[in-house]
Structure 1
Amino acid sequence: MCNYDCCQSKSPIAKRLAARRLLEIEEEESRKPKIVLATPQSLLYRYDIVEVMAAYIVSVSEIRPKYGIISGALLTPITSLIEDPVSIPFENIPHFPLSHLGDCKFLVGYVMGAPVIAMADRFHQYDGYPMATCSLPVRVMQLCGVKTIMLTCCSLAANPNYQAGDIMLIKDHINFIGMMSQSPMEGPSDPRFGARFFPMVNAYNADLIKAALEIGKAMGINKALHSGVFAFCGGPHRMSVSEESLLHRLGADAIGPSLVPEVLAAHHAGIKIFAFAFITVVAYSRPTEDEDEDHRTAAKAAVESAEVTPQKRQACTDLIGRLIYHMHHENVDSNCPK
């Protein structure tokens, strides 16, 4: 190592060369790409920050909700169930992320006497939001007091027996995104949200699925009502024919790019979960000899636009409304944690 005596023994030229070399090394280091460490998902919204969000919603609405609803964009009429709702825009909530989706807000009020908080539409990962943002509304609902949550989404059918406008009650899911180490729980864990390690077995409440099937039968929609497995994949593009076929062989009945991050946060918190996928696109079928690909694609688009009628979307709203009534008035234990 260089020391004082060593430097004193060097000639002026050697000293200048050494200094020039040091400058060159510094320039080389400055040109190297900087290492950027991303903030872990679990640290994007700390417990105390989420607590402030929830406290604001409860103080403005003067309601402590027991039931939560998050609907897909096509199913926003579900929020019309709330009587005289208190509207809380996202931009008014301290620290809450803004959405580019438009008029985004929480609605808090009562559905046939049941205190409810609802969010129309949601944050999607394919829109550029982190997983933690996608699950944040559930965290907020958890700290507001929600014990049961109802989640809906639009989806592509992988099961060839499903028709456009059918409702698939989700009994389990395949989290393909999670298998690639993308989770809202990635990073340090705060036990106030839930346990560090938790199984996803029986995440979807079997009693609520059974009740929904009985309600669907009473509504006369039992032929359009199924229970199946939901596959969480990326977006916004849809599956190719081969991908859809593969997912169906793996056990998936419907495919979508949302909902599961919310399920993870809800199950982590011990919240009861009821979820369904509304089929808006039918499954691809193998083309016959006299049916080319262009014709099949055009027919599929026609099915998507024509068969998802307002009446079928209204069935989703009626199903949620009747289920809330069942839980709040007929099943006194529905608000107890699992």
Structure 2
Amino acid sequence: MGDYEIALGASTFIKQAIDLRPDVGIVCGSGLGDIVDLVEDKQVLKYTDIPGFPVCTVSGHGGCFVFGRMGGKNVCVMKGRFHPYEGYSYREVARPIRVMKLLGVKTLIVTNVAGGVDLSFKIGDIMIIEDHVDFASMVGRNPLMGPNDERFGIRFPSMTGAYDKELRAVAHQCADEMGLGDVVRDGVYFYLAGPVYETPATSRILRGLGCGTVSMSTTAEVITARHLGLRVLGLSLVVDLAPVGQADDAVGPTHEEVLSVANSRSLVVAKLIEAVLRRITV
């Protein structure tokens, strides 16, 4: 069975189980599940109940869709995402985005928790993603490899302007109004395949490339979203500072520390998303 047929089967199942049609899709990063606390009239569907869907294996990922109303919009929230380091192909990682498109989603908001590479960043800062660097994609590790299905999109989609300029401007306006202007930044996101964290030497290279944050998700979803013609807003929560100095002296993060910071800032990210949703049209 092809990717389109699998996605269509999943979306058909969801339409039969859920009576809400979403306009906006939201992907929760690790520990950012509090986003769903601001969703009203919730309808929850476990990934394990959806035909053809992967299963979350990472701590901090809930493993379900949450449908409802947030910021005056119909939303579909992924409480848990999938990663190639779990053993999934990039096409499997992309599958939920294609399903959301078939459900009616027009705008995608992706979130992640990340290491701060930019030396001016502080733990708890939120970076609005203006662009990304994805070496895996450059060497053929991306969800569009293989035969192209025109029902999803064109063979050679452009990634210029992948992160919508208008959505980024709205996010900044909302952040300023919420008193978050000092902690909301712009920057370039770097995708690291994982599951190992970056080394100090890697951090220095990424800093030289002009990257602001680094993490293990997001770009495959964004590539897929742009292939589908969706508008994209990306938010990266800085939960640790990428190691600097020599390898013998540097101290790296643990997943438990990452989740702890993410949990403490999750509601702030959620309220920013809610404010953006109230401001935009879909």
After TM superposition, the score normalised by the length of structure 1 is: 0.77
Q: 1:52/1:307 Cα in 2 relative to 1: closer, same or farther (>3 Å)?
A: closer
What does 1:18-33 align with in structure 2 at a 5 Å threshold? none
Offset, 1:45: 4.6
Q: Note if contact 1:155-1:278 (Cα within 8 Å) is conserved in structure 2.
A: yes
Which secondary structure state, in structure 1, belongs to the residue aligned with residue 111 of structure 2? strand
Alignment match, 2:244:
285
Q: Note if contact 1:106-1:120 (Cα within 8 Å) is conserved in structure 2.
A: yes
Larger relative CO (CA 8 A, sep 6+): 1 or 2? 2
Offset, 1:180: 1.8
Supply the distance in 1 between the matched residues of 2:222 and 2:2 (Cα, whole angstroms): 17
Larger Rg belongs to: 1
Which secondary structure state, in structure 2, belongs to the residue aligned with residue 94 of structure 1? coil
Which secondary structure state, in structure 1, belongs to the residue aligned with residue 235 of structure 2? strand
Q: Note if contact 2:239-2:262 (Cα within 8 Å) is conserved in structure 1.
A: no
What does 1:294-309 align with in structure 2 at a 5 Å threshold? 294=249, 296-297=250-251, 308=261
Residue 255 (structure 2) pairs with residue 255 (structure 1): no
Q: 2:229 aligns with which of 270, 289, 298?
A: 270
Alignment match, 1:174:
133
Alignment match, 2:3:
46
Alignment match, 2:23:
66
Alignment match, 1:319:
272
Which secondary structure state, in structure 2, belongs to the residue aligned with residue 86 of structure 1? strand
Supply the distance in 2 between the matched residues of 1:136 and 1:94 (Cα, whole angstroms): 12
Which secondary structure state, in structure 1, belongs to the residue aligned with residue 182 of structure 2? helix
Which secondary structure state, in structure 2, belongs to the residue aligned with residue 95 of structure 1? coil
**Which structure 2 residue ranges, 5 or more long, are not aligned?**
none
Residue 70 (structure 2) pairs with residue 116 (structure 1): no
Q: Note if contact 1:205-1:273 (Cα within 8 Å) is conserved in structure 2.
A: yes
Alignment match, 1:14:
none
Supply the distance in 2 between the matched residues of 1:275 and 1:165 (Cα, whole angstroms): 16
Supply the distance in 1 between the matched residues of 2:135 and 2:71 (Cα, whole angstroms): 38
Amino acid in structure 1 at the alignment position of 2:228: A
Residue 154 (structure 2) pairs with residue 201 (structure 1): no
Higher deviation after alignment, 96-105 or 57-66 = 96-105
Supply the distance in 1 between the matched residues of 2:263 and 2:89 (Cα, whole angstroms): 33
Q: 1:82 aligns with which of 27, 39, 43?
A: 39
Supply the distance in 2 between the matched residues of 1:133 and 1:285 (Cα, whole angstroms): 34
Alignment match, 1:132:
91
Supply the distance in 2 between the matched residues of 1:183 and 1:306 (Cα, whole angstroms): 27
Amino acid in structure 2 at the alignment position of 1:105: C
**Which structure 1 residue ranges, 5 or more long, are not aligned?**
1-43, 328-333
Q: 1:167/1:201 Cα in 2 relative to 1: closer, same or farther (>3 Å)?
A: same
Supply the distance in 2 between the matched residues of 1:305 and 1:255 (Cα, whole angstroms): 13
Q: 2:107 aligns with which of 148, 156, 161?
A: 148
Offset, 1:293: 4.5
Which secondary structure state, in structure 1, belongs to the residue aligned with residue 251 of structure 2? helix
Alignment match, 1:19:
none
Alignment match, 2:202:
243
Deviations 1:283-306 (A, max 9, x none): 33337xxxx955x528x77xx579
Amino acid in structure 2 at the alignment position of 1:67: V
Q: Note if contact 1:165-1:307 (Cα within 8 Å) is conserved in structure 2.
A: no
Supply the distance in 2 between the matched residues of 1:311 and 1:55 (Cα, whole angstroms): 37
Alignment match, 1:41:
none
Supply the distance in 2 between the matched residues of 1:306 and 1:234 (Cα, whole angstroms): 19
Which secondary structure state, in structure 1, belongs to the residue aligned with residue 131 of structure 2? strand
Amino acid in structure 1 at the alignment position of 2:78: M
Supply the distance in 1 between the matched residues of 2:251 and 2:270 (Cα, whole angstroms): 30
Deviations 1:161-194 (A, max 9, x none): 1011110000000011111211111111110000
Supply the distance in 1 between the matched residues of 2:45 and 2:127 (Cα, whole angstroms): 31
State how many pairs are aligned.
278
Supply the distance in 1 between the matched residues of 2:227 and 2:72 (Cα, whole angstroms): 27
Supply the distance in 2 between the matched residues of 1:275 and 1:193 (Cα, whole angstroms): 21
Alignment match, 1:29:
none
Offset, 1:314: 1.9
Supply the distance in 1 between the matched residues of 2:248 and 2:264 (Cα, whole angstroms): 31
Q: 2:53 aligns with which of 93, 96, 112?
A: 96
